[in-house]
């Protein structure tokens, strides 16, 4: 009997499933926690946060559009509620004692609209961070900042934008990096490390005082006035001190405003100050108590020498006044175009020299001040009349009068004791004398800078006296010419 053989069949095995590794993934979420003492902390992750903090009478609202908010159990226990559909957290104000906002990585935007407790905002890491304060849907105001507010960016840099344009008039002080008078109920706003740019929209008809001798990081300050509700209020800005690292830009925006630089001395103006106005502004530079001799050059919007840093004026600056001290100052002025309509140059008790180019757009007033002539340190007015036509001098007193021109604005002066020889010759030409008398006087003014000039000037004074006696010139004109000649005579005799 044959035994039936059984062929061995192959065993079929199911194919092992192909397992592929997943790419690493991270779910971004902000964490909101409330400690037992009511300290609320908000910590962002690595996204570009867009966070808003508001206090509405009885509750805080914290909203975020860039990432979901996760509540800790402590926050839930404290009564925090997450409106998941809106990604908004609300919590009763009386459950919160302070707020700490840290947005961590990313270029973040944090809008602090209103607070009722001490708040610190740290945009942490990133170079495009923005912190908004007071911004609202219908005109900004910091009158809902009812707690001390500290702003910083400890790992990068941030811009702070403060909007207070709809608030009623305020007196605000920015001393170094601390605002007072901007928030309500005596609270302060402090700019910490990493805040490199400040843009500040002041309340209408406000007085803003800038007194910054040092600041952690600030490099640019932009101050704007208010035109809220078509306001034509008069804004006032006083710049008392700026560090060398800071550039200050001022645009007061509204109707005729006032900017003052220096508080009797400009010695603390170490950083550049730029002033303009979309409407009109008066600029006053106050160095009247410094006692320092200045060499000031005003040239078509640039002012150097009146302070350690440059001061620049642009569109909308319609009036400029520079008030100097007891030092022997030199002031040069030139304005060929622009909005500047008038300039007032005032010297102190020192012997000052004013070098003025007559302007086609700007009237000039020069006040020499002390000392009283005759003196070896006179106040001297030097005019550059090149290109000016129709020059005419009207003498009011020995040291005051006005120069008028056919094609230039008037130059009015007082307290001027003398001129250089070239300008004394122009004085003679401007008096309208007969050609014989004019020629005789001018001949005596052909000075050589030698001892012979003493005789020429003495003869000039005698001729002036004869013209006065003959009625060819007035007593004021004679006194002005004599005084100018005496100033030249004293200079020769030194």
**DSSP assignment of 409-439:** --EEEES--B--HHHHHHHHHHTT--HHHHH
Q: Where residue 268 falls among pLDDT bands split at 50, 70, 90?
A: very high
> Which among 53, 52, 31 has a CA at the least distance from the CA of 42?
31
pLDDT of residue 8 exceeding 50, the answer is: no
Look at 2-11, 357-366, 462-471 and tell me which has the smallest mean pLDDT: 2-11
172 close to 202: Cβ distance less than 8 angstroms: yes
- pLDDT score of 373 more than 60: yes
pLDDT at 374 over 80: no
| Residue pLDDT, tens place only, 145-179 | 999 999 999 988 999 999 999 999 999 999 999 99
Mean pLDDT, to the nearest integer, of 270-291? Answer: 95
* pLDDT recorded at residue 133: 97
What's the whole-model pTM score? 0.89
The ranges assigned to domains in the chain are 27-233, 253-418, 433-494
- pLDDT higher than threshold 70 for residue 287: yes
pLDDT confidence bin for 231, thresholds 50/70/90: low
Of the chain, the end-to-end C-alpha distance in Å amounts to 157
pLDDT tens per residue, range 304-338: 999 999 999 999 999 999 999 999 999 999 999 99
Whether the CA torsion 23, 24, 28, 32 is positive or negative: it is positive
Element at 304 (helix H, strand E): strand 302-304
62 versus 256: which is more confidently predicted?
Answer: 62
Q: Is the pLDDT of residue 264 over 70?
A: yes
Alpha helices in 236-305 (DSSP H): none
Given this model, what pLDDT does residue 352 score?
94
Average pLDDT, the chain: 90
* Alpha carbon distance 263, 124 (integer Å): 37
Q: What is the 8-class DSSP label of residue 24?
A: P
Alpha-carbon distances of 183 from 159, 167, 194, rounded to whole Å: 19, 11, 21
Question: Strand 353-356 vs strand 330-334: parallel, antiparallel, or unpaired?
Answer: parallel
Residues 6+ apart with CB under 8 A from 476: 395, 396, 397, 398, 401
What does the alpha-carbon distance between residue 45 and residue 31 come to, in Å, rounded to a whole number?
8
SS percent in the chain: helix, strand, coil, step 5: 15, 35, 50
Residue 291's pLDDT is 94
Phi and psi at residue 351, to the nearest 5°:
-80, 105
Cβ–Cβ < 8 Å for 103, 51: yes
Which of 134, 99, 133 has the alpha carbon at shortest distance from 116?
99
Tokens of 338: 């622009």
Compute CA distances 255 → 166, 227, 235, 251, 316, whole Å.
16, 9, 8, 11, 10
430 near 424, Cβ under 8 Å? no
Q: What gap in Å lies between CA 175 and CA 290, rounded to an integer? A: 21
Task: Read off the pLDDT band of 27 (50, 70, 90).
Answer: low
| pLDDT for 372 | 66
Res 138: pLDDT: 59
CA of 240: how far to CAs of 1, 84, 305, in Å? 125, 50, 17
- Pick 117 or 278 by higher pLDDT: 117
pLDDT at 14: 47
């Amino acid at each position: 009997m044959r035994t039936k053989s059984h062929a061995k069949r192959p065993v079929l095995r199911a194919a092992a499933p192909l397992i592929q590794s997943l790419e690493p993934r991270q779910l971004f979420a902000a964490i909101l926690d409330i400690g037992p003492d009511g300290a609320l902390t908000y910590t962002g992750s690595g996204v570009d946060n867009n966070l808003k903090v508001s206090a509405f009478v009885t509750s805080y609202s914290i909203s975020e559009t860039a990432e979901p908010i996760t509540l800790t159990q402590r926050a839930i226990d404290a009564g925090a509620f997450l409106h998941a559909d809106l990604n908004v957290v609300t919590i009763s104000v009386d459950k919160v004692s302070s707020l700490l906002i840290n947005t961590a990585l990313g270029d973040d935007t944090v809008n602090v609209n209103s607070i009722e407790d001490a708040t610190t905002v740290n945009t942490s890491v990133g170079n495009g961070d923005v912190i908004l304060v007071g911004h609202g849907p219908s005109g900004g105001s910091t009158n809902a900042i009812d707690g001390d507010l500290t702003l910083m960016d400890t790992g990068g840099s941030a811009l702070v934008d403060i909007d207070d344009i709809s608030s009623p008039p305020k007196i605000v002080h920015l001393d170094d990096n601390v605002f007072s008078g901007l928030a309500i109920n005596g609270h302060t706003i402090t700019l910490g490390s990493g805040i490199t740019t400040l843009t500040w929209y002041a309340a209408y008809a406000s007085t803003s005082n800038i007194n910054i001798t040092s600041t952690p990081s600030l490099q640019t300050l932009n101050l704007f006035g208010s035109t809220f509700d078509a306001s034509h209020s008069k804004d006032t800005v006083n710049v008392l001190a700026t560090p060398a690292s800071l550039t200050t830009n001022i645009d007061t925006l509204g109707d005729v405003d006032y900017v003052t630089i220096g508080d009797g001395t400009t010695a603390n103006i170490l950083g550049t100050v730029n002033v303009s106005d979309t409407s009109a502004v008066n600029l006053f530079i106050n160095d009247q108590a410094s006692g320092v001799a200045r060499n000031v050059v005003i040239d078509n919007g640039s002012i150097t020498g009146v302070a350690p840093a440059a001061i620049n004026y642009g569109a909308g600056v319609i009036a400029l006044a520079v008030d100097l001290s007891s030092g022997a100052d030199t002031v040069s002025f030139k304005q060929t175009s622009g909005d500047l309509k008038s300039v007032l140059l005032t010297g102190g008790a020192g012997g000052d020299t004013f070098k003025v180019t007559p302007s086609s757009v700007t009237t000039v007033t020069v006040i020499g001040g002390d000392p009283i002539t005759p003196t070896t340190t006179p106040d001297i007015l030097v005019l550059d009349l090149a290109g000016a036509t129709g020059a005419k001098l009207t003498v009011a007193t020995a040291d005051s009068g006005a120069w008028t021109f056919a094609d230039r604005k008037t130059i009015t002066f007082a307290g001027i004791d003398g001129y250089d020889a070239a300008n004394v010759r122009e004085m003679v030409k401007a008096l309208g004398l007969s050609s014989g008398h004019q020629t005789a006087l001018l001949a005596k003014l052909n000075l050589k800078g030698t001892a012979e000039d003493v005789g020429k000037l003495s003869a000039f004074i005698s001729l002036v006296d004869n013209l006065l006696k003959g009625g060819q010139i007035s007593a004021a004109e004679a006194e002005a010419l004599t005084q100018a000649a005496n100033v030249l005579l004293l200079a020769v005799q030194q």
